[in-house]
Amino acid sequence: MNDILSQTWFKIQTRLFPFFETEHEILTDNQRKLISILELIRIEEYVPYRWWSRGRSTKDRCKLARAFIAKVVLNIPTTKDLIDYLFESRNLRVICGYESRKEIPSESTFSRSFNEFSQAGLPFRVHEELIKKYEMERLVGHITRDATDIIAREKSIKKAKKVVIKRRPGRPSKGEIIPSKEKTRVEKQLNMSLEEMICELPKDCDVGFKHKRGKPYFWKGYKFHVDWADGEIPISCILTSASLNDSQAAIPLATMTSKRVQNLYDLMDSAYDSRLIREHSRKLGHVPIIEHNRRKGKIKIEMEPAEKRRFNERYTAERGFSLLKDKFGGSMIRVKNHEKIFTHLMFSILALTAERLLNLLV
């Protein structure tokens, strides 16, 4: 992996930067960072080519895809601000592929192309290929599994109340059939494929709750579940309803991650404390290190000193989510519905992944 990354970085530094600056203006640090990320990702290779023989041709989707990457790398809040930046900066126009101001698309064109990228799952596919290309051959020490709140600007869906049929305690009456206890979602996931598990997870906007710095915290929107490798490199991502318990996304995430990288340890907090999750982790050949959940007033079981030292690596997730929200537009969501919000977050994850991979060479 390091050899491939080094070759790519060598080409960027010795050929791409000098060529650009002889033909155009001097690059800023952010523009150099953007060029490096775009060169590593090469998102234009994944955009399907279309040719229209009749009617008005659409704007080049490759340039629009590069512009969306530029938006998250430069931490630009809205599409309108991105268009204004493209008009002002000649360097940014050239980096995205626009030779003049006349070629810059309108805001509605950006919106339509974003919708197309959402339906095609473009950033998710590119991120998967990027991880397989640069991380599959590397043995990852720790995978840290965690989730973060995603605040959305849309109405939450009210949940239908569950109808619970109560029966009298004691022996059943003659002829009475007692229904068997329904399996939990985690139990069902053990016999499901990855696609079935992801489709079965709730994805509607609703209200989530957790304790934040010791105080109750509510938000309206979604929950973003991520597996982080050492170095704040995101490996797998799932977006669900905000009310979903973290543990119910653990097995789908672990299954997805196992198809992309090889790792030794699975680090999870007390929300994932489940016998089934531990067994599934061991079945994949990993060592689960999960904080004990003190339920119903039980005494908390402390970790062994060696496990505790490894568990400290779990701060990778906190640093990763902080980078995602503060530097790569993860908290500046202006779109609605699950599909588009997931696409926005995956553009951010894609840029963050490339930046952290390049950081390994520094």
Q: Are 347 and 69 in contact (CB under 8 A)?
A: yes
Section 242-252 average pLDDT:
95
335 CA to centre of own chain: 16
Q: How far is CA 199 from CA 55, 192, 229, 236, 248, in A?
A: 38, 11, 25, 16, 13
**Rounded CA gap, 315 and 226, in Å?**
13
pLDDT in tens, 177-216: 666 778 889 999 999 999 999 999 999 999 998 888 778 8
Q: Are 60 and 33 in contact (CB under 8 A)?
A: no
**Rounded CA gap, 326 and 167, in Å?**
53
**Rounded CA gap, 250 and 272, in Å?**
7
- Looking at residue 91, its pLDDT comes to 86
pLDDT in tens, 109-125: 999 999 999 999 999 99
Tokens read off for 277: 């999750």
- Looking at residue 224, its pLDDT comes to 97
The yes-or-no verdict on residue 358 having pLDDT over 90 is: no
Q: Which pLDDT band holds residue 3 (cuts at 50, 70, 90)?
A: low
Which of 166-170, 257-261, 285-289 comes out lowest in average pLDDT?
A: 166-170
The DSSP symbol for 212 reads: E
The yes-or-no verdict on residue 51 having pLDDT over 60 is: no
**Rounded CA gap, 360 and 302, in Å?**
34
The yes-or-no verdict on residue 343 having pLDDT over 70 is: yes
C-alpha neighbours within 13 Å on the C-beta side of residue 137: 8
- Looking at residue 23, its pLDDT comes to 58
Q: How many CB atoms lie within 10 A of CB 273?
A: 18
* Side chain identity, residue 258: S
**Rounded CA gap, 280 and 254, in Å?**
8
Q: Which pLDDT band holds residue 9 (cuts at 50, 70, 90)?
A: very low
- Looking at residue 10, its pLDDT comes to 46
Section 309-315 average pLDDT:
91
pLDDT in tens, 135-177: 888 899 999 999 999 999 888 877 777 666 666 677 777 766 6
Tokens read off for 178: 């007692």
Range list for CATH 3.90.350.10 in the chain? 139-156+183-336
**Rounded CA gap, 130 and 157, in Å?**
35
The yes-or-no verdict on residue 4 having pLDDT over 80 is: no
CATH topology of domain 139-156+183-336: Transposase Inhibitor Protein From Tn5; Chain A, domain 1 (3.90.350)
- pLDDT > 70 in the chain, percent: 85
Q: Are 356 and 175 in contact (CB under 8 A)?
A: no
Of the candidates 285, 301, 284, which has an alpha carbon nearest to the alpha carbon of residue 293?
301
Section 230-253 average pLDDT:
95
Provide the 3-class DSSP secondary structure of residue 288. strand
- Looking at residue 213, its pLDDT comes to 77
Section 305-324 average pLDDT:
92
